[in-house]
Amino acid sequence: MAKDFDLTDTAVRDWVRQAEVDAGARDGLTSSEREELAALRRENRRLREDVDILKRATAFFAKETR
């Protein structure tokens, strides 16, 4: 089947493994948990950038008011 669709054996093996996790037959993160984790990591990165910008703005305005 992998050859018919020009896929690597590893890709097919990973899909089968993930399907087993999603079905509860194997331990690991389900697809929805992986999606949620990725979204939370993106949000965390954005919030860290926001905090960094706010710190810089605070330092800038603190210098200006002296």
pLDDT for 1: 74
Q: Is 35 part of a structural domain of the chain?
A: yes
27: Cβ–Cβ under 8 A, 6 or more apart, which residues?
21
- Domain extent, residue 48, equals 9-64
Q: Which residue has the tokens 């330092």?
A: 59
Q: Is 36 part of a structural domain of the chain?
A: yes
The pTM is what? 0.73
Q: What is the full DSSP assignment across the chain?
A: -TTTTT--HHHHHHHHHHHHHHHTSS-S--HHHHHHHHHHHHHHHHHHHHHHHHHHHHHHHHHHT-
Domain count, the chain: 1
pLDDT band at 66 (very low <50, low <70, confident <90, very high): confident
- In tens, the pLDDT along 31-58 reads 999 999 999 999 999 999 999 999 999 9
Q: Is 3 part of a structural domain of the chain?
A: no
* Mean pLDDT, residues 3-29 taken together: 93
